[in-house]
Chain A
Amino acid sequence: GQNIDQPTEMTATEGAIVQINCTYQTSGFNGLFWYQQHAGEAPTFLSYNVLDGLEEKGRFSSFLSRSKGYSYLLLKELQMKDSASYLCAVRDSNYQLIWGAGTKLIIKP
């Protein structure tokens, strides 16, 4: 079956760095997405990786290793507004998005 694993919840301190991991097993691979979702709102796009390596976008970076079925989202200089759920999603061979359950990130002052 298809499976996306990510931690349920993480806690970090304002100003610090946090890494949210995502491992996947899917039928084919056509890219990996990270989304941010604040409570009661729809997801918003953060990053997309299709080749191995690191993609940096401001305070957020995303890494992919296709051979390991692994990705992480790195958040630097954490701000209180970064408190949200972070969803990892993989697009399979049918171009369907397979979603992880999300990681709830709690930022403490």
Chain B
Amino acid sequence: GAVVSQHPSWVICKSGTSVKIECRSLDFQATTMFWYRQFPKQSLMLMATSNEGSKATYEQGVEKDKFLINHASLTLSTLTVTSAHPEDSSFYICSARQTGASSYNEQFFGPGTRLTVL
């Protein structure tokens, strides 16, 4: 099956620093990638939809200047949390939808990145 990787798997940083998370589709091309955030014991919350070669579409309430998304190629999207604060500590998960797939269009999830901001 299709594999999506994320790097790093966990990161601890100081308040005010920026953190970059990479999401890669390893064996397929992904026109569209999604970034989710999940707080403990809560469901996934879609942050933004990233389309290769164009600007990301952010969900209501998500600051685009704080969560910078770049989808420069069909296999890589990055999420940069700028000036991170403790309230940004969360589990960040990306998913990718295969280009040219059938209407089934399953999303394949990365393993997630646990961010802790001190």
Residues of A at under 8 Å CB distance from B?
30-31, 33, 40-45, 48, 50, 87, 91, 95-97, 99-102
* Beta-carbon contacts under 8 Å, B65-118 to A: 91, 93, 103-112, 114
Whether the pair A42, B110 counts as a contact (CB closer than 8 A) is yes
Whether the pair B105, A42 counts as a contact (CB closer than 8 A) is no
**For B93, what are the chain A residues with a Cβ–Cβ distance below 8 Å?**
42-43
Number of residue pairs A-B, CB distance < 8 angstroms: 41
Q: Roughly how many angstroms separate A43 CA and B46 CA in the complex, as a whole number?
A: 14
Other-chain residue from A41, A45, A99 in contact with B111 (beta carbon distance below 8 A): A41
Other-chain residue from A31, A87, A95, A96 in contact with B44 (beta carbon distance below 8 A): A87
Whether the pair B112, A99 counts as a contact (CB closer than 8 A) is no
Minimum CB–CB distance from A58 to chain B (whole Å) comes to 15
Q: Roughly how many angstroms separate A91 CA and B46 CA in the complex, as a whole number?
A: 13
Q: Roughly how many angstroms separate A44 CA and B103 CA in the complex, as a whole number?
A: 19
**For A31, what are the chain B residues with a Cβ–Cβ distance below 8 Å?**
103-104
Whether the pair A97, B110 counts as a contact (CB closer than 8 A) is no
Interface centre among B43, B46, B105 (most CB of A within 10 A): B43
Other-chain residue from B45, B49, B109 in contact with A42 (beta carbon distance below 8 A): B109
